[in-house]
Amino acid sequence: MGRWWAQAESRAAANTALLAPGSPMPREASDGRGLDQSLPEAAGEVHLTTVPGGDHLLPAEAGPPHGGGGRPGAGGELPARAGEGRGGCPGWQGQLCLPVPADLHRDHQFPALPPHHCLRTDGAETSGEPPKLLWEWLGDGSSPAPHEPAAGGRLDRHPAEGARHPADRNHQRPTWAKGEINRDIMLVLPLTFRELNTYEKLSAERLIRLAFPHITEPSCISAGAARTLLILDGLDEFKTPLDFSNTVVCTDPKKEIQVDNLITNIIRGNLLQEASVWVTSRPTAASQIPGGLVDRMTEIRGFGAAEMKEFLDQMFLDNRDLSSQVLHHIKANRSLHIMCTVPGFCWISGSSIGYYLKNSTDQSQEMTVVPKTLSEIYSYYFKMTLSSDWPEKQRETLRIEQAVNNSKKIMGSLGRLAFYGLLKRKYVFYEQDMKTYGIDLSLLQSSLCSRLLLKEEMQSSTAYYFSHLTIQEFLAAIYYYTTAKRAIFDLFTENGMSWPKLGFLNHFKSAVQRSLQAEDGQLDIFVRFLSGLLSPQVNKLLSGWLLAKDEHNSFRSQAISFLQGCLNTDYVISSRTVNTVHCLYEIQHMEIAKSVEEAMKNESLAGMLTPVNCSVLAYLLQVSNVCMEETNLSNCLTYNVCKSLLPQLLFCHNLRLDNNQFKDNVMELLGSVLSVKDCQIQKLSLAENQISNKGAKALARSLMVNRSLMVLDLRSNSIGPSGAKALADALKKNQVLLSLNLQHNVIKEDGAAFLAEALLTNHKLTTLHLQKNSIGAQGARKIAEALKRNCSLKELMLSSNSVGDNGSVALAEALKVNHSLQSLDLQSNSISSAGVAALTVALCSNKGLINLNLRENSISKEGGPAIARALRTNSTLRRLDLAANLLYDEGGKAIALAMKENRALTSLHLQWNFIQANAATALAQALKSNSSLASLDLQENAIGDEGMAALSAALKVNTTLADLHLQVASVGAAGAQALAEALMVNKSLQILDLRGNFIGVAGAKAMANALKVNRSLRRLNLQENSLGMDGAICIATALKGNHGLTYVNLQGNRIGQSGAKMISDAIRTNSPDCVVEV
């Protein structure tokens, strides 16, 4: 049976080891590691927890105990009382032996336990010193229930939202100890791979004794007499990779075998079959475990926004302003912000930026730029370390010369240890390693070393490890950089036996090439640091400390050329090539990235995506703020480029892939991305591609499992009825998607019926676009029936669908009972007065509809009174579009009379309805008393000067109308003069469009005089009005005193090119903030 318990969470464990001795421990780091509190429910299962941030569950002081005496609170003898334990295990009491953390009493009012006490599962006290079991139990609360399907063994390394608030964890921590959960687990055996590294061979029973030397009969545990949890912490620190394919089977718990073989036999279930096993590791080492063995996997979550702020507040308890400034700088750099979800990195970054901000007032030459790159962050951190200038230590900074003299030798030795440890994937070192690399153990007690290298006393040896993996990588880069300048042989060959390799650049190229060949990214951060040491800013920071001043100048340009050459990969983009762009960022050469980012912002990427630019684009998709807002890759991608960018597209929030001629094979790719559990795409636009029903089915399969996508735009494709059916079936299960756009997809009547069926069960979709799909009256009826029961849909777009009167009647019946639909678009559907009569009857009782679009139908003047009746009764409709119908003056007058009573409508479109002066006069009368209408569209109606005069008189008293559209309304000079008089007193009108009339010079002069007085108008369109040069000059001159106008259009007025320039210059001089089109 599968023995791994898998649950996926996210990136980054807290790293508590970064704190210098005596420094205050941030509460988030000391109390929280985001662990799920679910444990294996059945004997024989294993829970794998990945910790990408570089830390593990058991702290340094929480390793297996010494034999007899042990550390304080560990080891000792537990009196044997045979028969008391569950299952009668001799030598063990049967209680759940959990240590009580020091702050547990404080936070939860536990009785103060004297030494040699531990908690029973029922909360009672038991005499006897507790063995070292588990440091603390924390909960994230986000894991699936044990019965949910396993995640298939996938490890995900991208950051997600942080763990719960510390108060939640404080509440959850003692629940296991009090027996509220996992009551059947009777014994916890914690071991670290650091400890296991010191043994060549072990048996299963001896392994148990490592955790509990006091147990007299370990065979009762190995035989499954008691439910046991075995914790193996830090698989990535194990000296021997696990080889499951060549496991030598062992079922004898007393037989001593190689330690790596022992672990694989335990995981396979050959040994300790009834024990549940919990392994922690970094993701790269966790991949040693075959996926088929995984039952549940957990990945520790990093910080969310609130946790990051709280963490920094606790770092700078005495200076909240400084904490806010540090957080501001972190958020301003997306790449840095993402990495700071790792608490350990957040501590280093916070310390470095805080150090910069506090010392930047010195105005020293090297303190002129806030640290942004990784190399700058760590350079500040090391400068702070070398100078002993720590925030929590109030003491004077050592002189630079003294600091260098005291630290250079030990830094060189630590750097060599760090570099060759990194190559060997070795992160834990022992006394023999220290002697091998010439490190004086007595110097390790210095304050400098204690900040960089931590010490852990174990049962049989002493282990050392760098306070964070990135500290080891930075020291390794410093060592490589300084040594490469004089090295003769390849530094990657430790014994020095290799072909000669002379010159720093050759060594630099070797390091970059090695990193490109390491598929797991083992050397990624190392080469970023190495590149960063060539940047001018880092050289300024570290010159006189770890680097020689200005020595980077002779290498930098050639290093940049080499890195750029590494990006010519024939469109094969990997995390290695993206890391190469990170190296260019570290070396502070970002010209290519800036040009690609600018092209993406301007939607001009088409034809630019060379192999180099593709790699740069992949980098930008991770770190660019432009991509964060909207990733617009329309009209520029091919299948191969899209395929290579998939890992980066996974984390775009708003992704536009319009007009790329994508076919169904690309939909298969995108479907795989959408199916990934940590997909972050919230909006996806695939408009104007070549997607058929097969592509729609691929997307539909992903929607069955996707938990992020809220908006999907597939307009102008060809998915057809079967594609619509696939998406409809997905909607029956998907409860995340809010908006679906299927405009112009040939789904027809059958497709509409499938979607209607989905609307009966889907309670999440709020917007559905079905324009131009030929669904007909029958399709409209199906949707109408669904609307009678659906209460979630807010917007329904059905324009250009041949709905007709029959479909309108069906929709009207739905509107009588549906009060959740807010917007209904029925444009261009051949609806006549009969259809609109049914709709208006429904409006009399409907309480939800806000926007109704009946533009471009066949509503005659007989429909006007029906609409008027609805407007007198309805109190919710805000926008009504009746443009391009056949209302004439009779219908227009009926609606105008109703507007005297209506107090809800804010926007009325009557464009191109054959309305003339009579209807315009009626509308003017309504405007004198109406206090709700803000926008009136009468364009392409021949209202003439008479109608204009009536509207102008109304504008003198109306205080709500803000937009007035009168394009092509037969308005002449007289009408313009009347309007100008109104503008001198009106204070509400902001948009006035008079395009396509003939107001002439006289009208222009009148309007100019009004503009000198009016302060409310913002946009004025006088395009194509026969103004001539004189009229245009009048308008331009008037703007000198006008401070409200922001846009003027004077195009098409026979001004000429030279006149246009003169007018444009005059307007810009008189009103610099006004945009002019001449």
Looking at residue 576, its pLDDT comes to 86
pLDDT tens track for 702-732 = 999 999 999 999 999 999 999 999 999 999 9
| Residue 500 DSSP code | B
Distances (CA, A) of 396 to 246, 430, 809: 59, 34, 85
> Cβ distance 795 to 820 under 8 Å?
no
What local confidence, expressed as pLDDT, does residue 935 receive?
98
Residues in contact with 908: Cβ distance below 8 Å, sequence separation at least 6, in sequence order: 880, 882, 895, 899, 933, 935, 936, 937
Spell out the alpha helix ranges (H) of 203-289.
204-211, 219-222, 259-268, 283-286
490 to 120, 411, 517, 563: CA distances (angstroms) = 59, 21, 16, 19
Task: Please report whether residue 994 resides in a domain.
Answer: no
Domain count, the chain: 3
Most confident of 295-304, 647-656, 855-864: 855-864
Residues of the chain above pLDDT 90, percent: 50
Spatial contact of 405 and 563, defined as CB atoms under 8 Å apart: no
Confidence of residue 144 (pLDDT cuts 50, 70, 90): very low
Q: Does residue 267 register a pLDDT over 60?
A: yes
Has residue 80 got a pLDDT over 50?
no
Task: Judge whether residue 339 has pLDDT over 80.
Answer: yes
The residue among 372, 387, 417 that closes a domain is 372
Bigger pLDDT: 53 vs 269: 269
**pLDDT tens, position by position, 897-949:** 999 999 999 999 999 999 999 999 999 999 999 999 999 999 999 999 999 99
Torsion region of 273: left, alpha or beta (phi above 0 gives left; psi -120 to 50 gives alpha): alpha
Q: What is the pLDDT of residue 921?
A: 98
948 or 127, which is more confident?
948
- Give yes or no: residues 295 and 311 share one domain: no
Q: How confident is the model at residue 952 (pLDDT cuts 50, 70, 90)?
A: very high
208 and 351 together in one domain: no
Q: Say yes or no: 430 and 508 in one domain.
A: yes
Residues 270, 311 share a domain: no
Same domain, 197 and 60: yes
* Phi and psi, residue 259, nearest 5°: -60, -40
Task: Read off the pLDDT of residues 998-1040 as tens digits, 9 standing for 90 and up.
Answer: 999 999 999 999 999 999 999 999 999 999 999 999 998 888 7
Tell which residue, 688, 616, 609, has the closest CA to residue 641.
609
| Token pair belonging to 87 | 């299952």
Question: Is a pLDDT exceeding 70 seen at residue 114?
Answer: no
Residue 88 has pLDDT above 90, yes or no: no
Better-scored residue on pLDDT, 173 or 499: 499
CB atoms within 10 A of CB 266: 22
Confidence class for position 288, pLDDT limits 50, 70, 90: confident
Q: Are residues 119 and 224 in the same domain?
A: yes
Q: What is the pLDDT of residue 550?
A: 64
Q: Is residue 965 part of a domain?
A: no
C-alpha to C-alpha distance for 898 and 880, rounded to whole angstroms: 13
Model confidence at 136: pLDDT above 60? no
Mean pLDDT score of the chain: 80
Instruction: Write the DSSP string, 143-200.
Output: PPPTTSPP-TT----S-------HHHHHHHGGGTTTTSS-TT--EEEEEEHHHHTT-S
CA angle 256, 257, 262 (to 5 degrees): 110
State the pLDDT at residue 634. 94
Q: Is residue 391 part of a domain?
A: no
Residues 477 and 335 occupy one common structural domain: no
Going by pLDDT thresholds of 50, 70 and 90, the confidence category of residue 453 is confident
Residue 546 — very low, low, confident or very high, per pLDDT cuts 50/70/90? low
User: Which of the 8 DSSP states describes residue 797?
Assistant: E
The whole-number pLDDT of residue 741 equals 98
Domain match, 323 and 460 both: no
Is the pLDDT at 324 greater than 80? The verdict is yes
Average pLDDT over residues 564-592: 88
Q: Is residue 1044 part of a domain?
A: no
pLDDT band per the 50, 70, 90 thresholds, residue 215: confident
Kind plus residue range of the DSSP H or E element containing 90? none
Instruction: Answer whether residue 929 is part of any domain.
Output: no
Given this model, what pLDDT does residue 65 score? 28
Question: Which of 603-607, 613-617, 738-742 has the lowest average pLDDT?
Answer: 603-607
pLDDT over 60 (residue 141): no
Per-residue pLDDT at 99: 34
Which of the four pLDDT bands, split at 50, 70 and 90, describes residue 41? low
| Residues ≥6 apart with Cβ < 8 Å to 638 | 660
444 in a domain, yes or no?
Answer: yes
Query: What is the reported pLDDT for 171?
Result: 39
Question: Is the domain of 231 the same as that of 359?
Answer: no
Closest CA to 472 of 1000, 802, 52, 54: 54
What is the predicted pLDDT for the residue at 601?
86
Q: What is the mean pLDDT of residues 165-180?
A: 45
Q: What is the pLDDT of residue 69?
A: 30
Whether residue 617 has pLDDT greater than 60 = yes
Quick check: is 1077 in a domain?
Answer: no
pLDDT grade, residue 756 (50/70/90)? very high
In this prediction the pTM is 0.78
Q: Give the position of tokens 């795409």.
A: 681
* Tens digits of residue pLDDT in 811-852: 999 999 999 999 999 999 999 999 999 999 999 999 999 999
Q: Which long-range contacts (CB under 8 A, 24 or more apart) does 413-416 make?
A: 413/437, 413/438, 413/439, 414/439, 414/449, 414/452, 414/453, 414/475, 415/475, 415/476, 415/478, 415/479, 415/480, 415/482, 416/479, 416/483
Task: Out of 492, 519, 551, pick the residue that ends a domain.
Answer: 551
Domain limits for position 316: 305-372
Q: Quick check: 162 pLDDT over 60?
A: no
* pLDDT tier, 394 (very low <50, low <70, confident <90, very high otherwise): very low
Q: Mark whether 318 and 286 lie in a shared domain.
A: no
pLDDT in the model for residue 47 = 65
pLDDT of residue 252: 92
> Is position 180 within any domain?
yes
229 lies in the same domain as 345: no
* Domain end call among 533, 551, 569: 551
Half-sphere exposure of 968 (CA within 13 A, CB side): 7
User: 23-27, 351-355, 657-661, 678-682: which range is least confident on average?
Assistant: 23-27
Are 186 and 211 contained in the same domain?
A: yes
